[in-house]
Structure 1
Amino acid sequence: MFIVKIGVLSLVAVCLSYCSGRTNAAGEKLSCRSMQVEGGYGYVVVYGADTLIYQPYIPAIGEKTAFTSEEDALKIGTLVCRKLAEKQPPTVSREEIVENLPSMRLPAAGR
């Protein structure tokens, strides 16, 4: 478990250093895109041609559930993208999901 945490922290550090508001040689910037997945939608955060985050499920809810709409996936993906641009960790809490998607019914916490 400790090794997994170190790996995740390393990935976040690389993402943050890579996405420090710079553009690549082609002038491309950090962006978020929706994607259709089995059962709904997810999102990807890209920097130029590089995929930084591939998120096929709603984060922070404790189960593998896709977003029901493209708009919902983009709301959370845009939040993650903004955090990266502001040099914050790209994590999303359950509270942020509820705050940004108030009509979404989430499973009970702690499952």
Structure 2
Amino acid sequence: MKNNYNSKAVFLGIIILCVAFFYFQPGDVEKNAVNETSFALQVIEQDSFWIYEVYNDDNLFIRQEYIPAVKGRQVFTSKADAEKIGNLVMRKLIENKIPVVSIKDLDANAIHFKRI
């Protein structure tokens, strides 16, 4: 009977730790940090394609006219694609990472481009 009580106590302790772990995750803090950042994204239509610009304190920091990481000068054909990669770059800047975009990043965001 005592062994059964110990098992229930351990199980209850694990449940409490799991709930506490998920409750105190810093997800909301990260969302607030993104909202309070000095970076801003602007997606612009130019001719028949889209570009994105990242601003830092109202100063142009990055202007990306072509899809990064792919061969040739391929353009973003949709606003959504340019916005996805612009947000990825901005997120990397906010996290103090180098804003490099890879083919893997493009595939993960379902960006359409020609594989040369």
Tell me the TM-score range normalised by the shorter chain: 0.5 to 0.7
| 2-structure distance, mates of 1:70, 1:41 | 6
- Tell me which amino acid in the other structure corresponds to 1:78: N
- 1:42 maps to 51
Normalising by the residue count of structure 1, what TM-score does the alignment of the two structures yield? 0.66
Contact between 1:35 and 1:42, CA under 8 Å: does it hold in 2? Answer: yes
Q: 1:107 aligns with which of 104, 109, 114?
A: 114
Partner of 1:58: 67
Aligned to 1:3: none
The residue that corresponds to 1:97 in the other structure is: 106
- Identity percentage of aligned residues: 32
Q: TM-score, normalised by structure 2?
A: 0.63
* CA contact 1:42–1:67 (8 Å) conserved in 2: yes
Count of matched residue pairs: 82
Residues 38 and 66 in structure 1, CA contact (< 8 A), matched pair in contact too: no
Cα distance, 1:38 vs structure 2:
3.4
For the 8 Å contact 1:58–1:65, the answer to whether it is kept is yes
Of the two structures, which has the highest relative contact order with CA contacts closer than 8 Å and spacing of 6 or more?
1
**Residues 37 and 66 in structure 1, CA contact (< 8 A), matched pair in contact too:** no
RMSD: 1.9
Match of 1:75 among 84, 95, 103: 84
Bigger drift between 66-75 and 30-39 goes to 30-39
Deviations 1:46-76 (Å, cap 9, x if unpaired)? Answer: 0122111000111111111211111110100
Could you tell me how far 1:28 is from its partner in structure 2? 7.2
Structure 1 gaps, min length 5: 1-20, 22-26
Shift of 1:39: 3.2
> Structure 1 residue runs of 4+, over 6 Å off?
none
Match for residue 94 of structure 2 among 73, 85, 88: 85
